[in-house]
Amino acid sequence: MEDKERNIEDLFRRKLEGFEIKATEADWDAIMGKMPMVPAKRRFVWWYWLSGITGVLVALFMIFKPMNSFQTLTYTNQKSVVSEPLRKTSKKVESASNKHNLKNQTKEKIDKSGNLTKRLQSSRKAVSGNQSNAKSTGKQDNGRNRRNHYKAEIEKSDVSNHKTNIPKIVDSPVEIAKPEILILDISPRRPKFDWLTFDVMALNLIALNHPAFALKKEPIDKPNSMNLNFAVGPYISLNRYKQETTSKDADYDKYRKGTEKPAIMPDIGVKITGKYQNLIFNSGLILGFKGQQTAGLVNHRIYDSVPVFNPDSVLIDYFRFNYRDTSTRLRENNRYSYFEIPLNIGYSVRVNKKNNISLTGGATLSMLIGSKGKIIAPNAPNYTLAENDNTDLFFYNRMLTSWQAAIGHTYQLTETITWNTNIQYRSTLGNIYSKNYPVKMNWNNMGINTSLTFKIGR
Amino acid sequence: MPVDYCRPCKTLKCLFLKIDATKEVLFRPMSKDLNLDNEEFLIEACINQDPKAQKYLFDKYASRMLGVCSRYCRNLDDARDAMQDGYVKIFSIISKFNRQSKLETWMTRVMMNTAIDHYKKESKFVLFESGEDVLKYKKDTEEDYILLAEEIEDISQEQMLKVISELPDGYRVVFNMYAIEGLSHRDISNHLGISEGTSKSQLARAKKYLRDKFLEKGLIGR
């Protein structure tokens, strides 16, 4: 009996299982009409806020502080040209001007020991002599007098001894050494698998631009000069994951746990600034060391490498080539292995000296070197260049136009190259407007990624 | 050890994208380039509310799902309604799909539930008879409920469906769930909130009804 029933059920199942009734487009329209309009969730994401606030603070700090620090450096350098010969006279001036302090010191020693050395006696004589002179002229021996005296001595010695013109502290080529570089990398990179990295190299960069960290410091106005700074700063990495995986894979959990904890690692930075005839060159290198389980051992960034030609040109304030490399690394996946070297070679023309607006153009060249030579997954979907600067916040202090191009073994990585024209408007504090105009192209061996970025601000 | 983890499909062993999760992914598939024939990509894209993927899911399974709904509903209009509601439900809860069964199987279950819920909502009558009918069923001779496989072998799919659609609602639901979906009486009872006895009685009556209908229409011999 049961077998017979089972046969009947199997027969029904076999006959009706794959039964289909053709659905129509009207059904689809009805489904779309029934779909609820889900408003975008606006939940409070504390780390976004934290990153934003931190970014703003660091950006503001970087915008203002390094300028001042570099102005200090500039001024120090400028001054050093004239201060060198002043040392001879300044000693005399110092001995005379410090008499008041000396008097106090000798008095204290007399009170304590009751004995006077010959040196102290002579000092007291000198002091009393000066005091009597001051009294006779009817002037108080105060700070203003000393400063005036000092200033007069400087001017006197400068004019009489050297006959040199004091270099102007104006729009000098030194200005290019302002940190017009990647300052803060806040990278909410993936919409699904999201992590956030605080790449706070700002402190390091401040240090590298500050004379206090100079290993070798020379006046930049010398025909040939070289400055070398060295500093250590923190690199803070904080990863947060937006969406948990539904996978039960232990390996993934391990990976996630290895990267979700915040990490602070040391950054070691070196920056060199040199001048050779009419060429000025800046270059910096920062090495960040392993901070998380899954991080690379050393992450290096070459930044702010800016050779500047003809810095004193009148027609064009300066014209420069820029090399910026922030992510040279060996990349590998199961399909390909390659070495990526993104280069940013550009130029900059300052068009408005007064308002400090400049136009910068350049090209990013991504070279992909090395390959396993075989495609493991030939049916894999097409890839497009996805790692671009759009997700990163770059702070530039001038109006910027950049061009990026990628040339290399991309034929192994994609069959269809996407040409993205990206127009962005960025304010000092964040990205306000951004739009992509992708143009799909079928170039076999090369692709181009064009982006146009306007930046208004300092 | 690098983790062979594919971010788009969130699986460790993805045949289409083999990306090392320990390294930053330079190349990621754009949604428009996803191979939607891959079920994992399709699910992932639907979770992301990708309209293209949703349409693809509709095109691929809608006819079959309409067939499923038609087995539970009295007429095609009701079935279309249930199918549409089912797709709305699928799009909204697909993120909860645990990937332990095939997507189609899961969708069929969702459609089945939606069709039953749809019917319950529409119907003002009690879908199932009370437990007293079970006793009555036991008193009847079992032969009255027996259908022979050889008898209905030659009945076409359309004829079979037509007769099934004429079944009383309670019979039809239980018969579909048991005979075609393959659910046990316990599952059916849990699912519909009825006793196992009621489920068995409904099934037996459905078979008798079918036999009578087949006889009435001359599809099987006496």
Residue of B nearest to A38 (CA): B92
Nearest to B66 by CA among B170, B75, B46, B123: B75
User: For residue B128, what pLDDT is reported?
Assistant: 52
pLDDT, greater one: A359 or A24: A24
| Chain A partners within 8 Å of B108 (Cβ) | none
pLDDT range class, residue A101, cuts 50, 70, 90: low
**Percentage of residues of chain A with pLDDT beyond 90:** 0
Average pLDDT in the A75-100 region?
Answer: 40
Token pair 């803060």 in the structure block, residue = A184
Tell me the shortest Cα–Cα distance from A328 to chain B, in angstroms.
12
The residue among B188 and B45 whose pLDDT is bigger is B188
Which range, of A287-291, A348-352, B80-84, B90-94, averages the lowest pLDDT? A348-352
The answer to whether residue A219 scores a pLDDT higher than 60 is yes
Position with higher pLDDT, B33 vs A8: A8
What's chain B's length in residues?
A: 222
Compute the nearest-CA separation of A361 from chain B (Å): 24
pLDDT for the residue numbered A165: 44
On whether the CB atoms of residues A234 and A263 are closer than 8 A, the answer is no
Residue in B34, B146, B179 closest to A12 by CB: B179
CB contact under 8 A, A386 and B180: no
Smallest CA-to-CA distance from B93 within B40, B57, B46, B55 is with B46
Task: Classify each residue of A316-350 as buried b or exposed e, where b means 16 or more C-beta atoms within 10 Å of its C-beta.
Answer: ebbebbbbbbbbebebbbbbbbbebebbbebbbeb
Of residues A31 and A259, the one with the higher pLDDT is A31
Share in percent of chain B as helix, strand, coil (round to 5): 65, 5, 35
Those of residues 406-425 in A touching chain B at CB distance below 8 A are 413-414, 416, 418
Residue A133 has pLDDT above 60, yes or no: no
Spell out the domains of chain B, with CATH numbers in brackets.
Answer: 31-122 (1.10.1740.10), 132-216 (1.10.10.10)
Would you call A314 an interface residue with chain B, using a CB distance cutoff of 8 Å?
no
Which pLDDT band, with edges at 50, 70 and 90, does B56 fall under? confident
Query: Residue A59 — very low, low, confident or very high, per pLDDT cuts 50/70/90?
Result: low
Average pLDDT, chain B: 71
Give the mean model confidence (pLDDT) for residues A225-245: 60
Contact list in B for residue A249 (CB cut-off 8 A) is: 5, 11-12
CB contact B150 to A (< 8 Å): no
For A333, which of B15, B20, B85 is closest by C-beta distance? B20
Q: Are A310 and A324 in contact (CB under 8 A)?
A: no
Statement: residue A196 has pLDDT above 70? no
Amino acid, single-letter form, for residue A323: Y
For residue range A137-165, what is the model confidence (pLDDT) as tens digits?
444 455 556 556 655 655 554 444 444 44
Nearest CA in chain B to A253: B3
CA distance linking residue B38 with residue B46, whole number of Å: 12
Report the alpha-carbon distance of residue A97 to residue A10 in Å, rounded: 113
Average pLDDT score over chain A: 49
| CB-CB under 8 Å, B149 with A11 | yes
Per the model's pLDDT, the better-predicted residue between B77 and A373 turns out to be B77
- pLDDT of res. B76: 83
**pTM across the whole model:** 0.37
Task: Considering only the beta carbons, identify the residue of A21, A252, A335 that sits closest to B66.
Answer: A21
Contacts of B207 in chain A (CB under 8 A): 8
% chain B with pLDDT above 90: 1
Q: Looking at A176-223, which runs of residues are DSSP E strands?
A: 184-186, 198-200, 214-216
Please list every residue in chain A whose beta carbon sits closer than 8 Å to the beta carbon of residue B41. 381
The answer to whether residue B13 scores a pLDDT higher than 50 is: no
DSSP state, residue A39: P
* CB of A423 closer than 8 Å to CB of A391: no
Structure letter (DSSP) for residue A85: G
At A95, is the pLDDT very low, low, confident or very high (cuts 50, 70, 90)?
Answer: very low
CA nearest to B79, candidates B128, B112, B127, B103: B112
User: Between A82 and B86, whose confidence is greater?
Assistant: B86
Of A11, A13, A30, the CB nearest to B153: A11
Highest mean pLDDT among A37-41, A213-217, A444-448, B160-164: B160-164
As a whole number, mean pLDDT of residues A224-244 equals 62
pLDDT in tens, B196-220: 888 888 888 888 888 788 778 777 7
| Residue A368 predicted with pLDDT over 80 | no
Task: Note the pLDDT tens digit of each residue in B108-156.
Answer: 888 888 888 877 766 544 455 544 444 444 444 445 555 566 667 777 7
Chain B residue numbers touching A1 (CB-CB < 8 A): 142, 146
Query: Average of pLDDT values for A348-377?
Result: 43
Does residue A296 or residue B187 have the better pLDDT?
B187
Model pLDDT, residue A222: 66
Average pLDDT (A331-341) is: 48
Best of A12, A337, A411, A413 to disrupt the B interface by mutation (most B CBs within 10 Å)?
A12
Q: Give chain A's largest Cα–Cα span.
A: 137
Q: Count CB atoms within 10 A of the CB of residue A392.
A: 19
Beta strand A214-216 with A198-200 is: unpaired
pLDDT value at B185 more than 80: yes
Helix axes B51-72 and B157-165, enclosed angle (nearest 10): 70
Flag whether residue B77 sits within 8 Å of chain A, measured between CB atoms: no
pLDDT of residue B195: 82
B193 touching chain A per CB within 8 A: no
Report yes or no: A341 and A328 within 8 Å, Cβ to Cβ.
yes
- Residue range A415-442: mean pLDDT, rounded: 40
Provide the residue type at A352 as one letter. Answer: N
Q: Hey, are the CB atoms on B16 and A192 less than 8 Å from each other?
A: no
Maximum C-alpha span of chain B: 73
Residue in this structure with the two tokens 């005979």, named with its chain if needed:
B179
